[in-house]
Amino acid sequence: MNILTKVSVTAFALGLATETFAEEWNVSVWGKRRAFTEHVEKLAELVSAKTGGEFTMNISYGGLSKNKENLDGISIGAFEMAQFCAGYHRDKNRVVTVLELPFLGVETLEQEVAVSSAVYAHPAATEEMAQWNAKLLMTSPMPQYNLVGTGEPRDTLEDFNGMRVRATGGLGQAFKSVGAVPTSVTATEAYQAMESGVVDTVAFAQHAHLSFGTINQADWWTANLNPGTVNCPVVVNIDAYEGLSADHREALDGSIEEALDHYLDNYGKLLAKWDTVLSEKGVKKVEISDSVIQEFRAKAADPIRDAWIADMEAQGIPGQELYDLVMSTLAKAKASN
């Protein structure tokens, strides 16, 4: 081998040693692109831009997995990133269900981000998710859920008795405490359930009532019931995350805050035009009286919270500590506003 050939081979070898190989992740979400997925879309955009297209994400809306099976898919490495909602499988993600307790008092999306981030960072959450080979990356902050329904408005607790409602997690428990009959059909099944009369009402955040069409079946909307919300994390497969190059991991981690800021800005615009949407669709805006809300809170908040804490403690999960963390974080968030 002559000297020129040796130089060429050495240069080629060095080039291989310093090359950053392309990384392509599959991301499992569901439904269609909407306010609920905007942070995932933005994250993919930012990561690709920061890595010069070397790290890309293929976001699939239902093509990779059913929404109730996304955590299972993450656990076996079927895809690298996914979104799921805690209420879909409460036994698999017990820690984050503290964020679904009714009447926590969260008032804004920013506060929802704060309390979720605090819980996600708790060792108990990290440990539980690791059992599914999952790392909690960011939340999908949603405003307080409210009902859309058909027929006459239900604006008293007596009206809730016997009401068939699509509500998951802590919200479902809250409605059950006042005599309603909750069902946990998935978001994608809610319209059909409402159309066929399987449920009388559906509890969603605003974007979901729009995206899944339940607003088109509705005669009325409870503007201020605000019993709570659901918690829907975005997670990544631990092996995939740890397998990233340092530059790619930095691009991913460094884009989370900006992706969430984009989400909050986008959702704010949706909320600003919500009343116009109700008017256009002929949906009556129902204001629940303070006395009814207080009665609902008394029957749902304290008993469900106490039962949740006792259940978690019995399973070796620090329920009281997690609840206290939510409350202290929320107080700080409100004080800083």
Strands 181-183 and 164-166: parallel
Strands 220-222 and 134-138: unpaired
Kindly tell me the burial class for residue 52, based on how many C-beta atoms sit within 10 Å of its own C-beta (0-12, 13-18, 19 or more).
exposed
Between residues 170 and 253, the one the model is more confident about: 253
Is the separation of the CB atoms in 146 and 222 below 8 Å? yes
- The sign one gets for the Cα dihedral 5, 6, 10, 13 is positive
| pLDDT band at 20; cut points 50, 70, 90 | low
Q: Which is nearest to 103 in space by CA: 265, 332, 306?
A: 306
For domain 146-229+274-336, the question of CATH label 3.30.479.30 is answered with: no
Q: Which is nearest to 39 in space by CA: 109, 187, 141, 154?
A: 141
pLDDT at 198: 94
Per-domain boundaries in the chain: 23-141+230-270, 146-229+274-336
Within 13 Å, how many C-alpha atoms sit on residue 196's CB side? Answer: 7
Average pLDDT over residues 195-223: 94
Q: What percent of the chain has pLDDT over 70?
A: 94
Cα angle for residues 174, 177, 179 (degrees, 5° grid): 115
pLDDT at 220: 97
Q: At a CB cut-off of 8 Å and minimum separation 6, what does 337 contact?
A: 108, 110
φ, ψ for residue 231, nearest 5 deg: -115, 125
For domain 23-141+230-270, the question of CATH label 3.30.565.10 is answered with: no
Per-residue pLDDT of 57-111, as tens digits, reads 999 999 999 999 999 999 999 999 999 999 899 999 999 999 999 999 999 999 9
CA-CA distance, 233 to 37, in Å (whole number)? 11
| pLDDT band at 326; cut points 50, 70, 90 | very high
pTM for the whole structure: 0.86
Kindly tell me the burial class for residue 139, based on how many C-beta atoms sit within 10 Å of its own C-beta (0-12, 13-18, 19 or more).
buried
- Tell me, yes or no, if the two domains 23-141+230-270 and 146-229+274-336 fold the same way: yes
Average pLDDT over residues 245-259: 98
pLDDT at 46: 98
Report the DSSP beta bridge partners of residue 25. 57
- Within 73-157, strands assigned E span 81-83, 134-138, 146-149
Three-state DSSP class for 231?
coil
Average pLDDT over residues 221-232: 94
CA-CA distance, 38 to 198, in Å (whole number)? 31
Average pLDDT over residues 22-39: 96
pLDDT at 174: 93
Q: At a CB cut-off of 8 Å and minimum separation 6, what does 57 contact?
A: 24, 25, 26, 27, 43, 44, 47, 48, 81
Is the separation of the CB atoms in 266 and 35 below 8 Å? yes
Is the separation of the CB atoms in 165 and 200 below 8 Å? yes
